[in-house]
A and B are shown apart, each in its own frame.
Chain A
């Protein structure tokens, strides 16, 4: 697969440490929700680093690709992408990549999304694509974040969960919850999974994305309430590749 060049057309801070980078990629072949791209940075001495980032934007005709990058303290690539990159800069990318961790608009079955931290990114592409195509597939999202300030796409998610044909949204805060929040801060557990995800007898397709340990835990809990492991698709990211 060839490397393509995209131009940064907009930047938007999602949180204190995460930024959405909108790129215009003239020869973009189109993508589907859930796919990722590899981004390559090359230094003047020829040294290059490649990282994978999920696509946050729904497929669109404008050849626009949005990535949301979380800055890692000792990251090699993410500090540049979240702090130095400016509108008008060019970025090399390869993609779209992946034909498994994807949601297609032909899917009409209930969809259970489970995000841990920046694992929301590819799931957001699915939610946005569902909205932009008018799909009525029943969607639920369980979104685990450290604290309220760490939520990505807050306004978009609020808008999509308020309207008709809504996405049912549950936040789970692991460290700090908003005042008057009914559930004390803590990791996703069996009770929360049972209360907020689709009953397994509806045979939902589940998409779980987050850090590896989160994915292991959430997928295990989904299986424990009766979901078929074959209906649980996972995407892990970890310390080896800034994001993903």
Chain B
């Protein structure tokens, strides 16, 4: 990728699905999360995900406020969800992940 595209170097929440499956028993990528900053409710898969760090940072796709931080250490994992006021998981679908 060229350097001029640097500003776009984020993925989407979908890419964190594998890591977060160690924490959540349900698929988080299809869950809806409400941003604590702007109030937008979007699928976690739609969040902007930054992985150029020791952990992952997910930002609201609407306002870019941090909604999730996840860092794994040797014996511990840190999960910060203070940027999300609510996470709505769909319990009707069979678990495909």
- Nearest to B24 among chain A residues (CB) is A1
In angstroms, Cα B27 to Cα A87, docked, is 32
Q: How large is the interface on A (under 10, 10 to 19, 20 to 34, 35 or more residues)?
A: 20 to 34
Assess whether A32 is in contact with B14, with CB atoms less than 8 Å apart.
no
User: What 1/0 flags go to B15-44 for Cβ under 8 Å of A?
Assistant: 101110110000101100000000000011
In angstroms, Cα B97 to Cα A212, docked, is 24
Which of B1, B51, B52, B96 meets A99, CB within 8 Å?
B96
| B60 within 8 Å of A (CB atoms) | no
| A238 within 8 Å of B (CB atoms) | yes
Assess whether B11 is in contact with A99, with CB atoms less than 8 Å apart.
no
Q: Contacts of B46 on A, CB cut-off 8 Å?
A: 100, 234
Binding-face segment, A90-98, A141-149, A167-175, A196-204 = A90-98
Assess whether A235 is in contact with B97, with CB atoms less than 8 Å apart.
no
Q: How far is the CB of A70 from chain B (nearest CB, A)?
A: 12
Assess whether A94 is in contact with B8, with CB atoms less than 8 Å apart.
no
How many residues on chain B are close to A (CB under 8 Å)? Answer: 27
If A31-B96, A234-B46, A238-B1 touch, whether A97 touches B11 (CB-CB below 8 Å) is: no
| B75 within 8 Å of A (CB atoms) | no
Query: Which residues of chain A (41-91) have a CB below 8 Å from chain B?
Result: 50, 52
Assess whether A38 is in contact with B96, with CB atoms less than 8 Å apart.
no
The SS class assigned to the A binding surface is mixed
Q: Contacts of A97 on B, CB cut-off 8 Å?
A: 14, 17-18, 21, 27, 29, 97
Which residues of A come within 8 Å of B, CB atoms? 1, 30-32, 35-38, 50, 52, 94-102, 211-213, 216, 233-241, 244
Please name 6 further chain A to chain B contacts, defined as beta carbons within 8 Å, in addition to the given A98-B30, A213-B8, sorted by A numbering. Answer: A97-B18, A99-B93, A100-B30, A216-B8, A235-B14, A241-B11
Q: Can you list 30 contacts pairing A with B, beta carbon distance less than 8 Å?
A: A1-B18, A1-B21, A32-B96, A35-B96, A35-B97, A36-B17, A38-B18, A38-B19, A94-B18, A95-B97, A98-B27, A98-B30, A99-B27, A99-B90, A99-B96, A99-B97, A100-B43, A211-B5, A212-B5, A216-B8, A234-B46, A235-B14, A237-B11, A238-B9, A238-B10, A240-B9, A240-B51, A240-B52, A241-B15, A244-B11
